[in-house]
């Protein structure tokens, strides 16, 4: 039961101005912490989708094949950069432990993919004759549904560059 004129949760009598300020600071700190928690929880959604890590693919001297192994988690997207000359044939073989993992192949300039694994008849295999020189991007990623569930997978790429 409350005394008349006294609201539940109000400051006790005789607390004084310093006590009231301390309670207000604590109250503001709690609200600030709650706000920061909400912003931090939303931030990965906003930023992770736009970040693409790049890794250079290195071929051993005289080798046609390079093998790349990696791990994807959630919204990770990784571009493996393959330096190629015009007229070379590029072959990519992809294996992953998660059926929602795919790769795309993008040309040196532009974002229109030469190959989109998620819509290909053979999603783990690509082969094409390259019409221009530059760094081709093999982009590995998890489908959005798996990324939202923060799934992970190990993957491997076998990449072959051969003359004509």
Q: Is 83 exposed, middle or buried (0-12, 13-18, 19+ CB in 10 A)?
A: middle
End-to-end Cα spacing for the chain: 90
- Percent of the chain surpassing pLDDT 70: 71
Residue 9 belongs to a domain: no
Domain hosting residue 35, numbered range: 16-48
Give yes or no: residues 83 and 126 share one domain: yes
Give yes or no: residues 36 and 60 share one domain: no
Give yes or no: residues 44 and 55 share one domain: no
pLDDT at 129 over 50: yes
Residue 3 belongs to a domain: no
Write out pLDDT tens, residues 78-101. Answer: 999 999 999 999 999 999 999 999
Token duo for residue 95: 């294996």
Coil vs helix vs strand at 41: helix
Give yes or no: residues 42 and 55 share one domain: no
Give yes or no: residues 30 and 64 share one domain: no
How many separate domains does the chain show? 2
Cβ contact 11:19 at 8 Å: yes
Give yes or no: residues 70 and 109 share one domain: yes
pTM listed for this prediction: 0.70
Phi, psi for 30 (deg, rounded to 5): -65, -45
């Amino acid at each position: 039961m409350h005394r008349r004129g006294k609201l539940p949760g109000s400051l006790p009598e005789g607390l004084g101005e310093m006590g009231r300020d301390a309670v207000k600071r604590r109250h503001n700190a709690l609200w600030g912490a709650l706000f920061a928690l909400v912003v931090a929880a939303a931030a990965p959604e906003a930023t992770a989708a736009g970040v693409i890590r790049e890794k250079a693919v290195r071929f051993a001297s005289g080798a046609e094949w390079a093998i790349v192994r990696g791990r994807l988690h959630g919204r990770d997207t990784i571009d493996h950069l393959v330096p190629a000359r015009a007229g070379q044939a590029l072959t990519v073989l992809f294996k992953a432990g998660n059926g929602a993992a795919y790769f795309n192949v993008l040309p040196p300039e532009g974002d229109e993919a030469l190959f989109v694994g998620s819509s290909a008849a053979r999603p783990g295999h690509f082969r094409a004759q390259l019409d221009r020189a530059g760094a081709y991007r093999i982009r590995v990623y998890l489908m959005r549904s798996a990324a939202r569930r923060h799934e992970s997978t190990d993957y491997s790429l076998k990449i072959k560059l051969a003359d004509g």
